Structure 1
């Protein structure tokens, strides 16, 4: 998400040897070696973001064990992160290296709109996931009977519609600027969210970040308390009773594992985006500016979150890890990789699933 109020340092300088005053410094004042280093590092982040989230989407599509209600929201989150990697980060890398926008006003505002869209969609998808987990843990029987694919798709549609309304509509109508004019119309070469009014900042910051974040933290805290209580209750059962309810207990254990993974995703999101939203909220209220380098750090820390999510799935979720290995053909023993034998995905073999009923 681009800056709404941070003043960007002017990239003009006096060139030596009779150069023209006011000419733009190459690479935003960086040396060539520094520009190459920054561009390479950010390019790696961009490429990793694209590859990781493509793997998440493909894994959920081709692996039957990953086709459940919760993972529909996970795929929606991965799509938001993938859009960041494909549509936002390449332009962000170029702008970070050169400190100059050379693609015109329309692409500038389109880039900013997509940035806000994807960030908002990520937050709201995480919010939907937290509610899904809470419902699955606190009311497992009701969840299995009533939560279906159609309801999940409706919730995902609401997430993206709200994200579109928060991003594209205000930016292209001029509702987010102090003077009501189109964003960046005066100087599109310094593409940013400057001249943004405080009401819009407060609505975006609190409506799509702080309030959902507080609810998500409370929700996961409640989930872990309930999960602990359920585990203690199971352990207190007599062995014969525990064996009789083994299937139910296993389903409950699977739900707890999924919740831990998604709580880790939320934790990564908080670490990555809280510094940016702190700057985003405080700067216009105090009327101060921050160093350009500091702003770049907090912005790219937020972008890195789109790279971290697939890493969390690979590290904490056995099914995603197995799917990633097959997609990348990192197979061992007698198994054959997906690109040579699609049967290895289990698409032709019925599998036992703990997923809720889908209709």
Structure 2
């Protein structure tokens, strides 16, 4: 059951994230700086779908006998998990910048620098067990994740180092965005008719971005929090027994986050759906909103007096 479930999740992860990459490859219009955050997250999630299930299965079935190869195998799992966090954080930061400033643009160089840093951080912290933070070799019996990787690594580094700070950052982002909406609504009364039309259009766009941020927060929390709660129980209350099937379900739930990510960030955008409709017209319907965007944009006034 474990193997079959992991294979299904892995297949769905490859399909959903593969659609995102296919849309970008076949549509040059999507290759703009802001979308590289989406592409990077799709690549990170592909690693989760393609590499994590096999590595977890190898670890849990004790195929590897060498102690250091076992640590390397499980360190790669840790690096993939952290990379998923950092890639998601980069995307959220870009979406937040768009909500704070509707005319925010990123250069390709700045985007690549941020993404490169996220991968370096992921690899550096993911390989910490290989550098010495692992269980004693003398106690090594079989290549299972908890046999070689300390629970403290998962709790103190992954959870308190990346997971909780990301959740706190998301709460701060939602608070700041809510204030921006209130500020925009107060300023509407002092603007000209033409400028109000533009502000209303941009506010709708920002509202969709804000809704995606809320969905990001909910899905990320639902998928990852139960797993870390169980890990904390194992560390701080080792005498407490946790049902094996429940624990397995929570591990699988963390992997499903990579399935839903592209649905929220990419497939929910008109430009991506339009590109996928051209590639797979039998799977995706034409987006009427996207088709009418160009003519609508021509009716929007100049942005010289957009913000006071």
1:53 aligns with 2:12: no
1:101 aligns with 2:62: yes
**Unmatched 5+ residue regions in structure 1?**
1-34, 336-351, 353-359
1:208 aligns with 2:170: no
Task: Give, in whole Å, the separation in 2 of the partners of 1:81 and 1:326.
Answer: 24
- Aligned mate of 1:311, from 241, 263, 285: 263
**Unmatched 5+ residue regions in structure 2?**
287-296, 298-308
Does the 8 A contact of 1:109 with 1:172 survive in 2? yes
Does the 8 A contact of 1:72 with 1:152 survive in 2? yes
Does the 8 A contact of 1:87 with 1:111 survive in 2? no
Equivalences, count: 288
Change (3 A) 1:60 1:250: farther
Change (3 A) 1:119 1:231: farther
Aligned to 1:130: 92
- 1:175 aligned counterpart, secondary structure: coil
Change (3 A) 1:296 1:331: closer
Does the 8 A contact of 2:55 with 2:74 survive in 1? no
Deviations 1:182-210 (A, max 9, x none): 9xx82334344556163673132111111
Does the 8 A contact of 1:104 with 1:188 survive in 2? yes
Deviations 1:196-249 (A, max 9, x none): 163673132111111122112211232133135325544774434435xx3x76
Change (3 A) 1:40 1:286: closer
Does the 8 A contact of 2:133 with 2:153 survive in 1? no
- Aligned mate of 1:71, from 27, 31, 35: 35
Q: How does 1:149-160 map to 2 (within 5 A)?
A: 149-160=108-119
Q: How does 1:172-187 map to 2 (within 5 A)?
A: 172-177=130-135, 179=136, 181=137, 186-187=140-141
Change (3 A) 1:197 1:242: closer
Task: Give, in whole Å, the separation in 2 of the partners of 1:202 and 1:111.
Answer: 20
- Aligned mate of 1:270, from 206, 216, 221: 221
1:291 aligns with 2:243: yes
Larger radius of gyration: 1
Aligned to 1:227: 181
Does the 8 A contact of 2:23 with 2:279 survive in 1? yes
Task: Give, in whole Å, the separation in 1 of the partners of 2:204 and 2:122.
Answer: 33
Change (3 A) 1:312 1:241: closer
Report the TM-score when normalising by structure 2: 0.78
Aligned to 2:54: 90
- 2:133 aligned counterpart, secondary structure: coil
- 2:51 aligned counterpart, secondary structure: helix
Aligned to 2:171: 217
Change (3 A) 1:152 1:86: same
Q: Which has the higher helix share?
A: 2
Report the TM-score when normalising by structure 1: 0.68
Moved more, 279-288 or 72-81: 279-288
Deviation at 1:297, TM superposition (A): 1.2
